């Protein structure tokens, strides 16, 4: 069964504690935290103080997605802030394998994120070493973008690669996930769905999360 990881970036930061408590009570599995530096992507989100604050309240694992340059400089700090899974971008890591090992050496699950234009074939040499592939289904940097349909084919290709490696790597889809495309994403092979605006812009976010869980139950 796929996991649901609501993106906290879409929460109401005037009432962040309320929204975190809502996610605690919901059927969500992970908290997805997008960290942006204004260099790798054209936006800035939040850093260590906010993650520390969320971690004090959150009762579920923190899935931290780094959209930053030189992520290897900050891996220990993200562990100390509360990250359970730490994903770095393939495009931002000239020494990817070394960075993956740093993440694992610090006791976190290691993920690699890829932009929409990055072929999944480039991950072949690290698939057996990582726990998660965070596949961007929009161009990273801003929420609320339109889903890129090519994602379905990339999921299928990556699923085949994982099977050939006999790996247990999860496929996470980040960007434009909603109740309409969720069944198709799961059918293609997605294991984790990141949902931001779909959850937090709904009239009843907790009910929307429950509906996403129902979708995957039907799809399976």
CA proximity to 31, closest of 213, 198, 196: 196
Mean per-residue pLDDT, 1-13: 95
CA–CA distance, 60 with 58 (Å, rounded to integer): 6
CA–CA distance, 77 with 194 (Å, rounded to integer): 23
Give the count of alpha carbons within 13 A of 167, CB side only.
21
Digit-coded pLDDT (tens) for 13-71: 999 999 999 999 999 999 999 999 999 999 999 999 999 999 999 999 999 999 999 99
Q: What confidence score (pLDDT) does residue 196 get?
A: 94
On the question of pLDDT at 218 being above 90, the answer is no
Across-strand partners of 174?
A: 136, 194
Tokens of 78: 């993200």
How far does CA 44 lie from the centroid of its chain? Answer: 17
CA–CA distance, 48 with 187 (Å, rounded to integer): 36
Tokens of 220: 């399976």
> End-to-end alpha-carbon separation of the chain, Å?
7
The pLDDT-based confidence of 146 (bands split at 50, 70, 90) is confident
Mean per-residue pLDDT, 116-145: 91
- If DSSP codes are grouped into helix, strand and coil, which group holds residue 133? strand
Digit-coded pLDDT (tens) for 147-185: 999 999 999 999 999 999 999 999 999 999 999 999 999
Q: Which residue has the tokens 């890829």?
A: 114
Q: How many helices (H) and strands (E) does the chain have?
A: 8, 8
Q: What confidence score (pLDDT) does residue 1 get?
A: 78
> Percent of the chain, pLDDT > 90?
92
Please state, rounded to an integer, the average pLDDT across all residues of the chain.
95
The pLDDT-based confidence of 217 (bands split at 50, 70, 90) is low
Mean per-residue pLDDT, 123-146: 89
| Cβ-proximal residues to 196 (8 Å cutoff; 6+ apart), any chain | 6, 7, 9, 10, 32, 143, 144
Q: At the topology level of CATH, where does 3-219 sit?
A: TIM Barrel (3.20.20)
Residues assigned a catalytic role: 34, 174
Domain ranges (residues) in the chain: 3-219
Buried b / exposed e over 188-213, threshold 16 CB at 10 Å, is bbbbbbbbbbbbbebeebeebbebbb
Mean per-residue pLDDT, 105-116: 98
């Amino acid at each position: 069964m796929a996991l649901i990881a609501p993106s906290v970036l879409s929460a109401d930061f005037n009432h962040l504690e309320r929204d975190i408590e809502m996610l605690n009570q919901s059927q969500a599995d992970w908290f997805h935290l997008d960290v942006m530096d204004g260099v790798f992507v054209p936006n800035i989100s939040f850093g260590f103080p906010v993650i520390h604050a969320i971690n004090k309240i959150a009762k579920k694992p923190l899935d931290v997605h780094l959209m930053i340059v030189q992520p290897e400089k900050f891996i220990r700090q993200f562990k100390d802030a509360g990250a359970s899974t730490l994903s770095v971008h393939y495009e931002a890591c000239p020494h990817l394998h070394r960075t993956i090992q740093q993440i694992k050496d610090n006791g976190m699950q290691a993920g690699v994120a890829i932009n929409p234009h990055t072929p999944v074939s480039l991950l072949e040499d690290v698939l057996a070493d990582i726990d998660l592939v965070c596949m961007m289904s929009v161009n990273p940097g801003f929420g609320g973008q339109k889903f890129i349909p090519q994602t379905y084919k990339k999921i299928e290709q990556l699923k085949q690669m994982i099977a050939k490696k006999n790996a247990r790597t999860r496929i996470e889809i980040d960007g434009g996930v909603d109740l309409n495309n969720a069944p198709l994403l799961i059918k293609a092979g997605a294991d984790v769905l990141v949902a931001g605006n779909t959850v937090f812009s709904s009239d009843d976010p907790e009910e929307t999360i429950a509906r996403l869980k129902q979708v995957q139950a039907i799809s399976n």
